[in-house]
């Protein structure tokens, strides 16, 4: 495969605060909705929690050295809102949290690694869930803007790449629709209200950054959305339309307001009054509110028109509430699966990159997460993960091909630097390119880490 990655391409890896930091209730950190969710029996695998996780909070230097050893040019991490502002508001600041992130940022810069900071990766301060009703509460966009401003004030002098919100779809559908993620709500209307508030929160944070911080420090700010590719199950017009509709309910739900100023027509016509309406001022604030297109991509499914017999009541598929979309999703039995039972379909990545490029007028795209879980084990003091190596190679080949076809792909971040707390799956799924023994907390490079290092060094940078 020809290498089409430009010389200034960003090679990185990614983590999030709840999944790796640990120190869950130490040094002034407040509780998050995930700390509470983990206490509900049956919500998380074997009732595990993230109070220790990978203990990155106490192993900061060791983990930055892993990044140095990899040779990456960037590291994507997230701030823990309740570590910085324990009750979610700027009237109660935790200096220990500020010190921790200052150490991380300074250490990255000392080692010529660009920090990419995510403001929100799902760990809402519990206080805001209890007091404001979380992301369905009307005050959340304003409170998020306050939090974002706090982070800009303390860290924007050194961080030049910002992501406001990670995977608003997951927050909305899994948190407020299906109830399998914190805060555990089940509804067929709350996801659309939560999504609306997440978008407004994003837009307000971007406006603040552009007005008060970008002129002084430079830098870019955007949002990261997740999406799986939807391939029409047949070449029938009905299935082609179903695949398009599925992509619109999954990705365009959050990308259309940012690039076009409003929700897709397919959502408006299907949802009616359940889909909130933006004011003209909000539309103006949203449109153009991302300096790049952040994409988290993992898998592909077939989409077909669903018959009335298939969908009865609210069914939550990977992409939204299925009854609203009238879409049936399926897999090709020939596709290999990861430990998450997600299909490995590299060409889906290229097709999605092209779909995004064509719909949104060829924006700069950064794949801010791509990865896979496998049941890795230590053998003779080493961890060999040939399936993960094959996964990355195949997906990067398709990324290279997409660039050749005109896609403006500017960077790629592997998920994840470390095996970690995989949300409702607890510690049962391993996505890392470094193996973590969750008893001793020892880190160990997998063969995928060695492969990624050599891939970057061999001119793919």
In order, the DSSP letters of 350-365 are HHHHHHHHHHTTS--E
The one catalytic residue in 21, 132, 231, 369 is 369
Please answer whether residues 113 and 47 qualify as being in contact, where contact means their C-beta atoms are separated by less than 8 angstroms. Answer: no
Angle between the N-to-C axes of helices 386-404 and 346-359, in degrees from 0 to 180, rounded to the nearest 10: 30
Residue 32 DSSP code: B
| Cα distance between residue 390 and residue 395, in whole Å | 9
Residue whose C-alpha is closest to residue 422's, from 4, 126, 54? 54
What is the three-class DSSP state of 195?
helix
167 is catalytic: yes
Residue whose C-alpha is closest to residue 199's, from 82, 120, 298? 120
Please answer whether residues 326 and 242 qualify as being in contact, where contact means their C-beta atoms are separated by less than 8 angstroms. Answer: yes
DSSP run (H or E) holding 77 = strand 74-78
Residue 29 DSSP code: P
Token reading at 319:
């992409």
Token reading at 262:
């409003």
Query: What is the CB-side half-sphere exposure of residue 372 using CA atoms within 13 A?
Result: 27
Token reading at 459:
């001119």
| Cα distance between residue 142 and residue 87, in whole Å | 15
Q: Show Cβ contacts of residue 142 under 8 Å, excluding neighbours closer than 6 positions.
A: 204
The alpha-helical segments, DSSP class H, found in 72-170 are 81-84, 95-110, 126-132, 140-155, 168-169
| Cα distance between residue 416 and residue 433, in whole Å | 6
| Cα distance between residue 42 and residue 91, in whole Å | 35
The one catalytic residue in 21, 132, 145, 167 is 167
Residue 442, phi then psi, degrees to nearest 5? -70, 135
Given phi > 0 = left and psi -120 to 50 = alpha, else beta, which region is 117?
Answer: beta
369 is catalytic: yes
Q: Which whole-number Å values give the CA distances from 154 to 102, 157, 314, 407, in the listed order?
A: 9, 8, 44, 35
| Cα angle 33-15-113, degrees, rounded to a multiple of 5 | 140
* Residues with a known catalytic role: 167, 369
């Amino acid at each position: 495969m020809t290498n089409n990655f430009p010389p200034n391409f960003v090679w990185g890896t990614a983590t999030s605060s709840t999944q790796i930091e640990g120190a869950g209730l130490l040094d002034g950190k407040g509780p998050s909705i995930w700390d509470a969710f983990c206490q509900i029996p049956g919500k998380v695998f074997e009732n595990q929690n993230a109070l220790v996780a990978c203990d990155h909070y106490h192993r900061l230097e060791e983990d930055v050295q892993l990044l140095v050893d990899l040779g990456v040019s960037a590291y994507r991490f997230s701030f823990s809102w309740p570590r910085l502002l324990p009750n979610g508001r700027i009237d109660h600041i935790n200096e220990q949290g500020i010190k921790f992130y200052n150490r991380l940022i300074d250490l990255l810069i000392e080692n010529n690694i660009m920090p990419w900071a995510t403001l929100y990766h799902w760990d809402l301060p519990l206080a805001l869930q209890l007091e404001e009703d979380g992301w369905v509460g009307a005050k959340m966009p304003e409170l998020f803007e306050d939090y974002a401003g706090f982070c800009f004030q303390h860290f924007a002098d050194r961080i030049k790449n910002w992501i406001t919100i990670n995977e608003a779809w997951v927050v909305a559908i899994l948190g407020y629709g299906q109830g399998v993620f914190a805060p555990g709500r089940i509804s067929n209307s709350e996801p659309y209200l939560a999504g609306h508030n997440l978008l407004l929160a994003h837009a307000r944070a971007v406006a603040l950054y552009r007005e008060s911080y970008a002129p002084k420090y430079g830098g870019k700010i955007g949002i990261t959305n997740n999406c799986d590719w939807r391939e029409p199950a047949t070449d029938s017009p009905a299935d082609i339309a179903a695949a398009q509709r599925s992509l619109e309910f999954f990705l365009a739900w959050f990308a259309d307001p940012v690039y076009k100023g409003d929700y897709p027509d397919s959502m408006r016509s299907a949802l009616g009054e359940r889909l909130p309406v933006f004011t003209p001022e909000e539309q103006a604030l949203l449109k153009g509110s991302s300096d790049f297109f952040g994409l988290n991509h993992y898998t592909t499914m077939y989409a077909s028109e669903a018959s009335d017999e298939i969908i009865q009541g609210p069914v939550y598929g990977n992409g939204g509430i299925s009854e609203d979309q009238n879409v049936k999703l399926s897999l090709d039995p020939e596709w290999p699966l990861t430990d998450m039972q997600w299909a490995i379909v590299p060409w889906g990545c290229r097709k999605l990159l092209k779909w995004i490029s064509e719909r949104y007028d060829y924006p700069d795209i950064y794949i801010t997460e791509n990865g896979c879980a496998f049941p890795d084990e230590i053998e003779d003091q080493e961890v060999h993960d040939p399936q993960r190596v094959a996964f990355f190679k195949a997906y990067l080949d398709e990324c290279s091909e997409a660039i050749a076809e005109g896609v403006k792909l500017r960077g790629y971040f592997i998920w994840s630097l470390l095996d970690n707390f995989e949300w409702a799956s607890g510690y049962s799924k391993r996505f890392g390119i470094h193996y973590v023994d969750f008893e001793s907390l020892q880190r160990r490079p997998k063969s995928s880490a060695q492969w990624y290092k050599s891939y970057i060094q061999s001119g793919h940078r």
